[in-house]
Amino acid sequence: MTEYALGIDLGTTNSCVSIVEQGKPIIISNSAGYKTTPSIVAIAESGKRLIGQLAKRQAITNATNTVYSTKRLIGRSINDPEVQSCIATLPYEIVEGPHDDIRVVMRDKQYSLPEISAMILGELRQVAENYLGRPITDAIITVPAYFNDAQRQATIDAGTIAGLNVLRIINEPTAAAIAYGTQTNKRQTIAVFDLGGGTFDISILSIDSGIFNVLSTTGDTFLGGEDFDNRIIEHLVLEFAREYEIDLRDDPMAMQRLKIAAEKCKCELSEMKQSEINLPFICTDASGTPLHINTTISQEQFENLVIDLVKRTLKICQVALMNANVTQNDIDDVVLVGGMTRMPLVQQAVAEFFHKQPAKNINPDEVVAIGAAIQADGLVNQGTNHILLDVTPLDLGIAIHGGKFHVITPKNTTIPCTNSVVFTTSFDNQTSLRIVVLQGEQQQASDNQCLAEFTFSGIRPGPAGAVDIQITFDVDADGIVKVTAKDLETQHEHFVTVSRSSNLTPQEIERMAKDNADYLLSEKMNADLKQAVEYLKLSLKSLRELLANNELPAPIATFTNNLLQRGEDLVKSPDNVENVNHMTADIDNAISLINEGSIA
């Protein structure tokens, strides 16, 4: 039997799932017929989870219990400046978790961000299982190339909570390159320009005979379509305040309506010269008079609002080219990824920057999931004929004297790799050394992410500067880091393997996975009960029609009417599937006997 594995693009705004079927990657449409599912989760008043389109439809009337854009926040500390800026603008409540992490509140219950992502992943998994008609657990999930270890591990945690076996986490631009590269046998260097809903990545890759070699990758995890939407929202809020002296930011429902209108306007302006925004009864003034928004935004206006955002992407592209040691003229093709690349201004800017028109044979919404599915299929079926050489997304190093960050493995180093630096002792007769392993790009050690710390003891005593200690970083193909400290004279050494860590403990992940499984089981039981009741209703209808068209002996009529009443009572208050099915069977049996004349 063919083994299936999912390729999942877990996006900020929309998510997508793909599989390889009969050797070809396909995108699986959800129950509404769409190939992408909104990355939105809500809790209804009944406590039921609403995911995707269902959550999006009720976002206006249930703004404080509808969560979106969590990919921007996952794996971050509550004290990050970017997080603090989001707290001020998002309609749902964000609070501090027990580990300096982020929790969102819906219906007075706190949820970790991996739990929210797990709900979306679970929905995508269900989409695939409905299509295949069988359970499926293996998956590759994509992340922005610029995600750090905590953000990557938080994504793995989300997969675990959703009941998935996460085979690997791969970078979104790399997945897009795999999808693109499998369509051509040409030796070439490509740029993958990935401007999605919440993040921006640019990767430079060489493709040659099935070998995908990432030359450099960089990006901004707080630059994407959400920022383009916010420029429209800010424009509308400012114009409304000028006209009516009312700040709509104080009204969560109004802001949710503005968000939906801004996203619609942005999409329309990718194809039209102007877009109309009509929001009747957006609020009322002090006298109770209803106020409305009825305006148009032209494509030129929109471009003027966001031109600085587009220029930011080009500055990052320049850094990527420098890190890869190539120029625009060395790039053979440009692959556009993410819905924002449909914007004419973005396409024009990319074409001018790279001196060539981007590739037109790739669907920017689907290419990442397709590439992930190709990679996943290769892992489970050992059928891959390509080799992926990825890079470290951020600098790796240690904290040194003076609170500085000393880089040992620079970012964009091809993995697997080994890098070493020799240090000396700082004072006489030093016998131990505290090693703090860091990831990031800031000069100050405290401004980077701490991956691990350990003490290297047993150093031979000696004068300051006379004892050489070699620090070695080994990074494997999956990005797992092993740090070794060695006294070069005595060969005494100590090492630690850095385990990726999010802000959740193993016990919390296990509990969340159980809670998720229990909820899904309860939902399935409810769905099974609902289906059983529908079957019972059909049987009751048949029995009523039979009684209306047949004159039965009094004792039989009494028995049948009693059976009918018990069935109707059970429809009103069904207790469990088994009892409902038994009642349906009793009624169906009575119908058969009446038809055969046996019951008379």
Residue pLDDT, tens place only, 366-380: 999 999 999 999 889
Is 575 assigned a catalytic role? Answer: no
CATH of domain 506-596: 1.20.1270.10
Per-residue pLDDT at 216: 94
- Separation between Cα atoms, residue 93 and residue 39, nearest integer Å: 17
Look over the chain and give the mean of its residue pLDDT values, rounded to a whole number: 91
- Separation between Cα atoms, residue 413 and residue 446, nearest integer Å: 23
Q: Class of 225-306 per CATH? A: alpha beta
Say which of 101, 123, 157, 172 is annotated catalytic.
172
Q: Which CATH superfamily is domain 6-224+308-389 in?
A: ATPase, nucleotide binding domain (3.30.420.40)
Residue 283, both tokens: 């609020």
Residue pLDDT, tens place only, 78-109: 988 888 888 888 899 999 998 888 999 999 99
Section 459-466 average pLDDT? 90
Is 9 assigned a catalytic role? Answer: yes
Is 71 assigned a catalytic role? Answer: yes
Identity at 249, one-letter amino acid code = R
> Virtual CA dihedral for 509, 512, 514, 515, nearest 10 degrees?
180
- Separation between Cα atoms, residue 593 and residue 274, nearest integer Å: 69
Q: How confident is the model at residue 600 (pLDDT cuts 50, 70, 90)?
A: very low
Q: Please tell me whether the overall predicted TM-score, pTM, comes out greater than 0.75 for this model.
A: yes
CATH of domain 395-498: 2.60.34.10
- Separation between Cα atoms, residue 144 and residue 432, nearest integer Å: 38
Report H helices in 457-505. Answer: none
Is 493 assigned a catalytic role? Answer: no
Give the position of tokens 């999942």: 8
Residue pLDDT, tens place only, 299-313: 999 999 999 999 999
Cis peptide before 416 (omega within 30 of 0): yes
Say which of 71, 259, 266, 411 is annotated catalytic.
71
Q: How confident is the model at residue 598 (pLDDT cuts 50, 70, 90)?
A: low
Helices (runs of H) and strands (runs of E) counted in the chain:
13, 27
Section 105-129 average pLDDT? 96
CA-to-CA separations, 232 to 58, 91, 160, in angstroms, rounded: 22, 17, 37
- Separation between Cα atoms, residue 198 and residue 195, nearest integer Å: 8
Say which of 115, 123, 194, 377 is annotated catalytic.
194
- Separation between Cα atoms, residue 26 and residue 2, nearest integer Å: 15
The residues spanned by each domain of the chain are: 6-224+308-389, 225-306, 395-498, 506-596
Per-residue pLDDT at 383: 64
Say which of 9, 366, 377, 474 is annotated catalytic.
9
